[in-house]
Amino acid sequence: MLELSKNILTKVSFDRQLFQKELEKSVKWINKSEDLHSLKEWCMIEFGQLYPSILKKVFYKK
């Protein structure tokens, strides 16, 4: 699931709203905490400069 999520997020990264929607879905799909942590780290590296507000909103939503 982690690799599928990375693949999808990379493909939709051109559109801000679509990226946020797919990221939110990915966070719901991934139920292992270590995989969620890996997704978060990967997103920060890949998209931290492009969508910092979306990443904060989705990953720190509690």
Rounded percentage of the chain residues whose pLDDT exceeds 90: 89
Structural domain boundaries, residue 1: 1-60
pLDDT at 5: 96
For 26-56, what is each residue's pLDDT tens digit? 999 998 889 999 999 999 999 999 999 999 9
Sequence-distant (6+) residues with CB within 8 A of 32 are none
pLDDT at 32: 87
pLDDT at 9 over 80: yes
CA–CA distance, 50 with 31 (Å, rounded to integer)? 26
- Write down the pTM of the prediction: 0.90
- Number of compact structural domains in the chain: 1
- Averaged confidence pLDDT in the chain: 94
